[in-house]
A and B are shown apart, each in its own frame.
Chain A
Amino acid sequence: MKTRSRFTLGRLIRLALLIIGAVIFLAPYIFMISAAGKSQDDIFTAALSLIPTHFYYMQNFAKALEKVAMGTLLWNGVVVCALIFVFQVLVAIPCAYAMAKLKFRAARMMMVLVLLGLLVPIHATALPLYVAFDSLSLLNGYTALVAPFTISVFAIFLFLQFFRAMPDDLIHAARLDGMSELGIVSRVIVPNAWPAVTAFAIFSVVAHWNDLYWPLIVISKPGYATPPLGLMNFRAAEAGDDYGALMAATIIITIPLVAAFLLAQKRFVEGITMTGLKG
């Protein structure tokens, strides 16, 4: 395929399609930003005008902040995602290293477990887990939000692929230097696994920041609500048709992940492709 710099008809059509598509895909964001600055009257009369007649941003954001404990929601989101990610990596890396580089008889059986685990989403295990957490009185807390996700078979699978590609000589050299296996994991494997860890971090954070199913089940007190749950409750209970305040709340809650994505776009896309393609 030759890349032509001239404006041919084909290229014009291609660009037109891409631009129309991009406008359609960005439209929800444009209307979100627009509606967040409109007063109630504005929203009810001029749906298609993008620029608010009176700038109502301050009032709408104030209303959103007053009615929803944004700080708590965002903080819960950060704590839950961070805890989940740290546990997942701490558990998965040693396991993947053992499976990839050490000889032991259970390795094959564990591969079966991992492949089975890849197939099973939280939606399938939620009922017995809920019953168990309920009987241990662990509902409405960080433990319930984090514990089921401390194991990520996907992480094991991803790191396993990555470690298999690592040269054995690196590990042999470390052993000859008298390093223990734990030392090898922490000082040789982890620093070299950085690309895989970053890729997995993106996957993990996007998945758990967005998850509604499990928090909806285990959390009934607003103090432990994660961003999706908090926004859903706000939507259902308070806002009604107050779209200005709703859009303001939506912007506040969407910003963290979108900003992270815009800042580290290349990493994000690489991460998604890397984790995605191997999953």
Chain B
Amino acid sequence: MASIAAGEIRPVASSVRHERREARTAWLLALPAIILMLLFVLLPIVAVIFLGFTDFELGVGKFRFVGFENYAELFTDRTFRKSLWNTTVYTAIVAPVSILLGLGVAMLIEGEGWGKSFFRTAYFLPVVSLIVAMATVWQYLFHPTIGPLNALLGLAGLPKPNWLGASSTALYSLSIIGVWQTVGFNMVLFLAGLTAIPRELYAAAEIDGAKSSLDRFFLVTWPMLGPTALFVTTISVINAVKTFETVKTLTDGGPNHASEVLLFTIYQEGFVYMKVGYASAMTVVFLAILVVMMFLQYRFLDRRVHYS
């Protein structure tokens, strides 16, 4: 009896020991990642929130705790309000247009057997091209006097806008570049979503009376693409809110703040004027926008999405 009892206890004891050893190994394996996450993600976030309540300026040395003063100032800051508005306009153009074009191109390519890889390459190329470099090319295309775009418009007898140079068109010109740059990315994601739809569903829909391709699109393609569309929307909106490269390279926020976007304003206040406290408050607003975006997407769109 005793020996049996001992035989029963021993594996338990060793499994406890084993579990402890496993947990210790797991901690060791994860430790570098945990340390780096604390150092480069968590700590800076806490610091940015803290700095947002101070008047910290780089090079000044002393700083004061100012409560919500920075946030109050943000509301009356015309540059900041303008840049928030510009970011909204830019996002409201670039996200929907690049999503719809991406979906359209993906469906055309998917439906067409010929030249599949050529078309895919052509539309995807902007995604892997250096943004700053291609922005330079766009600046040439948009050039009011020597640019090919206005030369083309001139041939058609149309007015020639001063694309990036006029405050009425600068933001829209940047939006065109933004769309050009993201359609390919969205297309590839939609293509992956489309190929995952079982062919039989289309046959079944046809038998059920969905005669036109439009019927089949709304009956099969759209609901089956739900998760992809949700994901593409989230990514597109977040990327549009994060736009910076083209603004910095091409317009520097000008003319007269017409193309100043959120990240550019943060960069300008924080790293050019060194007003770290004030820029931190802006960063908190920027982060809040990202959090709200994610939350909205998953709350509202999730319900209408069909998961297979």
Contact = CB atoms under 8 A, between A and B. Distances in A.
Interface in B119-170: 119-134, 136-138, 140-141, 143, 146-148, 150-152, 155
Contacts of A114: 37
Interface in A17-32: 17-18, 21-22, 25-29, 31-32
A232 B30 CA distance: 39
A44 interface: yes
Contact of A265 (B121, B131, B213, B231): B121
B188 A269 contact: yes
Given A44-B146, A47-B148, A123 B51 contact: no
Nearest to A155: B33
Given A25-B180, A95-B29, A212-B244, A120 B131 contact: no
B208 interface: no
Contact of B283 (A25, A124, A212): A124
B131 A25 contact: no
B233 to A, nearest CB: 13
Pick from B48, B152, B191, B286 the residue with the most CB of A within 10 Å: B48
B248 A95 contact: no
Contacts of A32: 137, 140
Interface residues of A, number: 96
B252 to A, nearest CB: 9
A105 B27 CA distance: 9
B69 interface: no
B146 A128 contact: no
Interface string B178-221: 00100111001101100000010010000000000100100000
Q: Is the interface of B mostly helix, strand, loop or mixed?
A: helix
Contact of B111 (A1, A26, A104): A1
Contact of A127 (B30, B51, B109, B123): B51
B132 A121 contact: no
Nearest to A256: B130
A144 to B, nearest CB: 12
A91 to B, nearest CB: 5
Given A156-B33, A231-B130, A26 B23 contact: no
Given A21-B105, A120-B45, A210-B130, A104 B23 contact: yes
A262 B121 contact: yes
Contacts of B249: 212, 232, 235
Interface in A227-255: 227-229, 231-232, 235, 241, 243, 246-247, 250, 253-254
Given A113-B42, A128-B44, A277 B189 contact: yes
A213 interface: yes
B132 A231 contact: yes
B133 A254 contact: yes
A279 B185 CA distance: 14
Given A104-B27, A117-B37, A269-B120, A47 B130 contact: no
Contacts of B189: 272-273, 276-277
B22 A102 contact: yes
Pick from A120, A124, A231 the residue with the most CB of B within 10 Å: A124
Contacts of B266: 123
Interface string A87-112: 00011101101110011111100100
B142 to A, nearest CB: 10
A47 B19 contact: no
Q: Which 9 A-B residue pairs are closest in the complex by CB-CB distance?
A: A95-B33, A151-B36, A125-B44, A128-B47, A104-B26, A94-B29, A47-B151, A102-B26, A22-B122
23 contacts: A5-B113, A11-B112, A18-B105, A31-B140, A31-B148, A95-B33, A102-B26, A123-B263, A124-B283, A126-B270, A128-B44, A131-B276, A147-B40, A156-B33, A209-B130, A210-B130, A213-B245, A217-B271, A232-B249, A247-B136, A250-B133, A254-B129, A276-B189
Given A31-B140, A124-B48, A125-B48, 15 more contacts: A22-B119, A28-B137, A31-B137, A47-B151, A48-B152, A94-B33, A119-B291, A128-B44, A213-B244, A217-B271, A228-B132, A231-B132, A247-B137, A247-B140, A250-B130
Interface of A: 1, 3, 5, 11, 14-15, 17-18, 21-22, 25-29, 31-32, 35, 43-44, 47-48, 90-92, 94-95, 97-99, 102-107, 110, 113-114, 116-117, 119-121, 123-131, 134, 147-148, 150-151, 153, 156, 181-182, 185, 206, 209-210, 212-213, 216-217, 227-229, 231-232, 235, 241, 243, 246-247, 250, 253-254, 257-258, 260-262, 265, 268-269, 272-273, 276-277, 279
